[in-house]
Amino acid sequence: MKRFSLVVLLGLAIALVMPGSAANIVYSNGPINGTINAWGFSDIYGLANSFVSTGPVTVTGFDAGIWVFSGDTPTTVTWEILTGGPDWMGGTVLASGNGTWSNVFWGQNSFYYADIYTSTISRLNVSIGAGTYWLELLNGHTAVYGWAYWDENDGPSQFYGLNEVPDGSNAFTIYGTPEPGTILMFGSGIIGLAGVLRRKINL
């Protein structure tokens, strides 16, 4: 029984040290609301929300609640990850790119004649440390009408729209994996703990 317990502990250590196929949630601003409002983002109007990382991570992707006119779907977006605020407020761009959304239908807002999607951008590789950052979206395009809107859910993030005063923030989640150095440190600690427990068991 004692040997079995040690094997289980070591197996758990390996599972924790080796990153899984699914990325971890780095930050969530809460789920899609779908009823409050939504903010449009295009080549003219950018939108930015703050998010916090508690340690060194590699951002691998993000999702957002995106509204489009009924019968339409989100297609592409320009994204930026910044420090110090949105770019139009002097923020520093750490990484940027043009992405194609992967969409899962969330529901409808019949008052605004809108279809709402959980839209995901993946395959990013952006290293960040502990601190406050900004996710900015612009150049939102759709399959039919061309306008995409970011769901307002009034989560804890700070929100700015270009030429707009601060308002209710938007629904989004940042995904990532721990930096390799963090994984090695954590794994060493777990394996060290296993060694201590093994010595105690043998006493």
Report yes or no: 155 and 47 within 8 Å, Cβ to Cβ. no
CA gap 62, 193 in Å, rounded: 34
Q: Where are the domains of the chain?
A: 23-177
Residues of the chain with pLDDT > 70, as a percent, come to 76
**Residue 79 confidence (pLDDT) above 80:** yes
**Residue 21 confidence (pLDDT) above 50:** no
Q: What pLDDT, in 10s, does the model give residues 40-52? A: 998 888 999 999 9
**Residue 56 confidence (pLDDT) above 50:** yes
pLDDT of residue 63: 98
Tokens, residue 63:
């999702």
What's the angle, vertex CA 145, arms to CA 143 and CA 149, rounded to 5? 90
Phi, psi of 115 (to 5 degrees): -95, 140
Report yes or no: 170 and 39 within 8 Å, Cβ to Cβ. yes
CATH ID of 23-177, from 1.10.20, 1.10.10, 2.60.120, 3.90.550: 2.60.120
Report yes or no: 158 and 49 within 8 Å, Cβ to Cβ. yes
Q: What pLDDT, in 10s, does the model give residues 94-148? A: 999 999 999 999 999 989 999 999 999 999 999 999 999 999 999 999 999 999 9
pLDDT of residue 22: 56
CA gap 82, 193 in Å, rounded: 38
